[in-house]
Amino acid sequence: MKRILLTLIAASLSATASASTITYKPIIPAFGGDPGNWGGLLAEADKQNIYHAPPTPVKVKSPLDRFKEQLQYMILSRLATKIVDAAFGNSELEPGTYQIENYQVNVTQQGGEIHVNVLDTSTGSTTEIVVPMYNQ
């Protein structure tokens, strides 16, 4: 029995210890971790988040409001078409002033250019657009 015990002690003392280096691999992608971790980390953060933004109310437009917007869009589109046609010599441009909602659009032809001045009557800001005439 002593012999077995001594053999076991000798065997345990003669065994070599093996170890490997400990390396740190970050989890968070911002610090060098795997980019595939973002989804899981974001899901965990969302679960823990107790603060939620209040839902924004959905504004439903009446058919009359939609009709008014479509009409304004069509008027501005037609005016833009006339300006482009005049710039390329396809038609004559009649200068004039147009009042559309809060905007006053003044169209003039000066020399070889078409000047479009847009005045926002609610804020007083103006925008000038100069379109060269290509037919001259």
Do 96 and 108 contact (CB within 8 A), yes or no? Answer: no
Strand-pair category, 126-132 with 113-120: antiparallel
What stretches of 1-136 show up as alpha helix (H) in DSSP? Answer: 2-14, 38-48, 63-87
pLDDT of residue 26: 85
pLDDT digits 0-9 by tens, 23-61:
888 888 888 888 888 888 888 888 898 888 888 888 888
Proportion of the chain above pLDDT 90, given as a percent: 7
Instruction: Report yes or no on whether pTM surpasses 0.85.
Output: no
CA distances from 23 to 20, 26, 34, 84 (A): 9, 10, 15, 68
- How do residues 118-132 score in pLDDT, each as one tens digit? 999 999 999 998 988
Residue ranges covered by each domain of the chain: 63-132
**Who has greater pLDDT, 7 or 76?**
76
Using alpha carbons, select from 106, 77, 112 the residue that is nearest to residue 94.
106
